[in-house]
Chains A and B, each alone.
Chain A
Amino acid sequence: MSDTAKTYKIGQHPDLPPPRTEVGVLGWFKHKLFSTPLNIALTLLAAWFLWSVIPPLFEWIVLDSVWTAESRKECWGKMEVPEGGACWAFIKDRLELFIYGFYPAPQRWRVNLSFVLLIMAIVPVLYDKMLARKFGLWYSVAFPFIAGWLLVGGFGLTPVETDQFGGIMLTLIIGVTGISFSLPIGVLLALGRRSKMPVLRIVCVMFIEFIRGVPLIALLFIASTMLNYFLPPGTVFDLLLRVLIMVTLFSSAYIAEVVRGGLQAIPNGQFEAADSLGLTYVKAHLLIILPQALKISIPGIVNTFIGLFKDTTLVLIIGMLDPLGIGRASLADAVWAGLAREVYLFIALFFFICCFSMSRYSLYLERKLHTGH
């Protein structure tokens, strides 16, 4: 008080610290939680809500949960109140099924190896500061084919039928394939839609509009039933492969529209500047236009990817056993029946972790690429 009230000669005013109630923890509480009567009411309401939800949930999930048991009966027997806690023993018992589906047990190392290789393929894509990133990226491009060979087999490895694929592994296969192929295809579609060549433009527009106008489930049914009519009789066209193609095409149509939005936001001057320096169409797009357009499109692209990842659960409908399918099948087992909450919570947690990581990474990327002021 005394300090601020003091008068100083003009030009002599020293730098003073801000009042203590305006900054730091105290300032934060004052401004963010208790600034107006409405704000105070909302703060109290939220606090009451959290207080009444979190402790019971925590008790059920952690404190009163049972981790080892052979059946639901034994599980509930171990609790003070039957059903008073989660029976995670069930998930533990079925964990391998949730991860590998019906992939033959002696061959599961191939799935594990593919997973490790996947992580190694993701790193160079996500981190541009990596050493020898160029080689890393070549490896990332090759990865889907290496993993395909590892998982399906042949050429020296015991073949495994794709209908034995399932669980988290299946989700990752569909999700990763869809994500990594739909981005380049989507970018090409977006550029095609803006092309000055009418035929190319019309083909792209028709493709995008058709795919966007049909539900994914319908496309999956088409993949599982109708494609046979179009193929010469006797050709074997793997169901998983058809699903992969449909999911990729589906999300590339969405990516195309998101990227087109980004392209439209690039001022004409950028195209003109690139042209006037003598850059060709391809170079101008690779070096100038797409880096900017994709940067603007990051939220939309990641949104589409998250949607795709969650939509992989739809393969359940055409009889593929993704984690949700495995979960439903497991619940049919009389020994464990009745533990639906545990199953769905576990599956929800898996999807949440994957999608939330994507979302956080996109925020990180947006911050990193921010160069304007």
Chain B
Amino acid sequence: MPTIATDGIAEDKIRHPTKKLTISEEVAIEMVAVHKWYGEFHVLKDINLTVNAGERIVICGPSGSGKSTLIRCINRLEEHQKGKIVVDGVELTSNLKNVEIIRSEVGIVFQQFNLFPHLTVLENCSLAPIWVRKMRKAEAEEIAMKYLERVRIPEQAAKYPGQLSGGQQQRVAIARSLCMNPRIMLFDEPTSALDPEMIKEVLDVMVELAESGMTMLCVTHEMGFATAVANRVIFMDFGEIIEQNEPHNFFNNPQSERTKLFLSQILHH
């Protein structure tokens, strides 16, 4: 076992890591020589990344290194300017139809939850199945309840997001994404806006999701989570992928100086 912080993750999850799950040969996400600029600012530089279906990848790196941008390019919340991104066999181009197809197959969970404050928890979850998947209301609500049970807050279904704690809101956000039955889930620092006691309840849900075989890309600095569920940890800095490795080796045997420096900073506070 690597000697790293495991706070927030149930002990048994650490002792029985889930990474033994089979990963299929099928490619879920392929990024080839992807570049992105914000105006003049070169934020992603030559990103090459292949994610197989069922893989669970943790992305870490210092603030401003482009982690969010990378993950948001995958469902085109941000547009890349060079290179190729293929998600589930569909290439992301300016073709709006493709973008809509990919967005309905890829779920994303944000740091700030971004629940719809004017709708109840149940309506938040059933909205996209009804309006995007054209499901009947009763059926969509049934599915919504199923996922709310899975994230362990079915009793909050009738409340508004403003009446829930941060941890509960984030679990609703996860359930909302799952209701679209996505093939891939993206997480952008899902726990960093939460108080410590709420982090665990969200991570537990994410661990379960990983165990169910979901393809996951997760930007997080929860190293306990990374060791428990990730097949691969990716380290980014200055818009580049500096290093990627299987978690045990990544933490215990980092290759580059920048990775070592970064790990020493996040593990020693």
Contact = CB atoms under 8 A, between A and B. Distances in A.
Interface of A: 267, 269-270, 272-280, 283, 287-288, 291-292, 295, 369, 371-373
Contacts of A275: 77, 103
A269 B104 contact: no
B163 A373 contact: yes
Nearest to B103: A278
Contacts of B128: 277-279
Contacts of B110: 269, 272-273
A292 B108 contact: no
B131 A279 contact: yes
A220 to B, nearest CB: 38
Contact of A277 (B117, B118, B162, B180): B180
Contact of A273 (B116, B160, B163): B116
Nearest to A292: B118
B18 interface: no
Given A275-B77, A277-B132, A372-B162, 11 more contacts: A269-B110, A272-B77, A276-B75, A276-B103, A276-B107, A276-B108, A278-B100, A278-B128, A291-B118, A292-B116, A371-B160
| Range, interface on chain B | 20 to 34
A269 B114 CA distance: 5
Contacts of A272: 77, 110, 114
B183 to A, nearest CB: 13
B67 interface: no
B56 interface: no
A371 B104 contact: no
A372 B159 CA distance: 10
A275 B103 CA distance: 7
Contact of B118 (A278, A280, A283, A369): A369
B127 interface: yes
A278 B104 CA distance: 5
A263 to B, nearest CB: 14
The 7 A-B pairs with the shortest beta carbon distances in the complex, nearest first, are: A278-B104, A372-B162, A269-B114, A273-B114, A277-B128, A371-B160, A278-B103
A278 B132 contact: yes
Contacts of A276: 75, 77, 103, 106-108
A292 B117 CA distance: 8
Contacts of A373: 160, 162-163
A288 B176 CA distance: 14
Contacts of A269: 110, 112, 114
B218 to A, nearest CB: 15
B77 A277 contact: no
A371 B100 contact: no
Contacts of B108: 276
Contacts of A280: 100
A277 B114 contact: no
B115 interface: yes
A285 B247 CA distance: 42
24 contacts: A267-B114, A270-B116, A273-B110, A273-B114, A274-B116, A275-B77, A275-B103, A276-B75, A276-B106, A277-B127, A277-B132, A278-B103, A278-B180, A279-B128, A283-B131, A287-B131, A288-B116, A292-B116, A371-B117, A371-B118, A371-B160, A371-B162, A372-B117, A372-B160
Contacts of A287: 127, 131
Nearest to B115: A273
Interface centre among A272, A273, A276, A372 (most CB of B within 10 A): A276
Nearest to A273: B114
A279 B118 CA distance: 17
B104 A277 contact: yes
A288 B118 CA distance: 8
A274 B162 CA distance: 18
Contacts of A283: 131-132
Contacts of A295: 118
A128 to B, nearest CB: 13
